[in-house]
């Protein structure tokens, strides 16, 4: 069986393109699937992006999601080749590569190459979900690799779910535009962060859920630019087509940390001055045109 997916991001309030440089700025791939699994070729989401919404009660892309606010990773890459195994006893594995090409300026034959690996498990009862993923991209000058990965899961206790997630990754002191190390600073491998988050929700009714959580991040350096955030969320499914939600979070930055609240879409990230805190409330409507309820559980 062959399959194709073309996704375009546009602003609902204006109809303008999210990215004016390409027609399909989200996913654009062709694939083939069968008993052997699935192969995809083209622009595809990474497992980190796909898994984030399943590892906290905040849907992964709201002010309340600590991991969404503080982790650094690329959500999708061009020119990817990915393989997904068939699901066996609830387990599926994914492997991928995105060749970047040769950079003659630096003599690098694997410039911007991306390597991806992931595994997930969903119990037969759908009560237990576990996921672990990793991605790495080689710098244009081959001086370092930008690495990131999540490990976490959830448990459905009957009236709601409990979540836990851990992130480990580096944010290199680099010129992101050309993706080469900022050698004058002497930092070529970046600073690693360890981020932890716990959250849970409770189903007040079949349609209404409330939740809360706490996350904290630790910088692996003497600067100790750490951060933490308490968060809350409330969701109401008014039909199979849509969901109303409200979230709130208060992000505390220690020392020189300058993390801000982030969200999907055109919302500008609110980044405070270094060492300052930031709080925010987000209210929205989520519409699902497929008619299948997609919501933070």
Span 110-161, pLDDT tens digits: 778 999 999 999 999 999 999 999 999 888 777 778 889 999 999 999 999 9
Does the pLDDT value for residue 172 go beyond 80? no
CATH architecture of 2-287: Beta Barrel (2.40)
- Mean of per-residue pLDDT scores for the chain: 86
**pLDDT > 70 fraction of the chain, expressed in percent and rounded:** 87
Instruction: Write out the two tokens for 110.
Output: 């694997």
User: Is residue 104 very low, low, confident or very high in pLDDT (cuts 50, 70, 90)?
Assistant: low
Q: If 0-12 CB within 10 Å is exposed, 13-18 middle and 19+ buried, where does residue 160 land?
A: middle
Q: Kindly state the average pLDDT of the residues 239-255.
A: 91
Query: Cβ(268)–Cβ(227) under 8 Å?
Result: no
Q: Say whether pLDDT at 232 is over 60.
A: yes
Sign of the four-CA dihedral 50, 54, 56, 59: positive
Distances (CA, A) of 146 to 48, 65, 73, 113: 14, 22, 8, 11
User: What is the C-alpha to C-alpha distance for residues 2 and 143, in angstroms, rounded to an integer?
Assistant: 39
pLDDT at 40: 97
- Return the HEC string of 2-49: EEEEECCCECCCCCCECCCCCCCCCCEEEEEEECCEEEEEEEEECHHH
Give the pLDDT score at 224. Answer: 87
Residue 12: CB partners within 8 Å, gap ≥ 6? none
Residue whose tokens read 């970046």: 190
Q: How confident is the model at residue 179 (pLDDT cuts 50, 70, 90)?
A: low
C-alpha 83: how far from its chain's center?
20
pLDDT of 177 over the 60 cut: no
The closest of 54, 217, 286 to 151, measured between CA atoms, is 54
pLDDT tens sequence across 261-297: 988 766 677 788 889 999 999 998 887 765 444 445 5
pLDDT in tens, 31-50: 999 999 999 999 999 999 99
Which residue, among 61, 69, 34, has the nearest Cα to 45 in the 3D structure? Answer: 61
Cα separation, 178 vs 17, whole angstroms:
24
Locate the domains of the chain by residue range: 2-287
Higher-confidence position of 26 and 60: 26
Answer yes or no: is pLDDT of 186 > 50.
Answer: no
- Quote the pLDDT of residue 234: 97
pLDDT, position 61? 81
> 121 or 223: which carries more pLDDT confidence?
121
The answer to whether residue 164 scores a pLDDT higher than 70 is yes
- CA gap 76, 74 in Å, rounded: 6
Report the relative pairing of strands 208-219 and 2-6 from DSSP bridges: unpaired
Tokens of 84: 């997904």
- Does the pLDDT at position 209 exceed 60? yes
Of 73, 18, 68, 9, nearest to 46 by C-alpha is 73
Whether the CB-CB separation of 70 and 259 falls below 8 Å is answered with yes
pLDDT at 73 over 50: yes
């Amino acid at each position: 069986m062959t399959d194709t997916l073309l996704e375009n991001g546009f602003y609902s309030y204006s109809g303008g393109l999210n990215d004016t440089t390409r027609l399909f700025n989200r996913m654009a791939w062709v694939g083939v699937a069968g008993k052997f699994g699935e192969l995809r070729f083209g622009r595809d989401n990474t497992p980190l992006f796909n898994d984030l919404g399943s590892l906290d009660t905040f849907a992964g892309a709201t002010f309340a999601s600590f991991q969404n606010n503080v982790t650094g990773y690329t959500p999708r890459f061009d020119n990817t080749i990915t393989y997904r195994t068939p699901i066996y006893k609830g387990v599926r594995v994914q492997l991928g590569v995105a060749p970047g090409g040769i950079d003659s300026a630096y003599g690098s034959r694997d410039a911007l190459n991306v390597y991806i690996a992931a595994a997930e498990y969903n119990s037969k009862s759908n009560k237990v979900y576990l996921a672990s993923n990793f991605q790495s991209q080689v710098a244009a000058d081959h001086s370092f690799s930008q690495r990131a990965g999540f490990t976490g899961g959830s448990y459905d206790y009957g009236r709601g779910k409990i979540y836990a997630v851990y992130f480990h990754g580096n944010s290199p002191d680099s010129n992101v535009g050309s993706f080469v190390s900022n050698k004058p600073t002497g930092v070529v491998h970046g600073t690693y962060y360890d981020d932890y988050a716990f959250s849970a929700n409770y189903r007040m009714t079949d349609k209404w859920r409330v939740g809360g959580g706490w996350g904290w991040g630790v910088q692996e350096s003497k600067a100790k630019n750490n951060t933490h955030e308490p968060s809350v969320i409330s969701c109401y499914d008014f039909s199979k087509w849509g969901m109303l939600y409200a979230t709130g979070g208060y992000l505390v930055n220690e020392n020189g940390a300058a993390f801000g609240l982030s969200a999907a879409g055109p919302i500008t990230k609110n980044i405070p001055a270094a060492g300052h805190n930031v709080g925010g409330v987000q209210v929205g409507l989520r519409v699902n045109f497929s008619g299948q309820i997609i919501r933070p559980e």
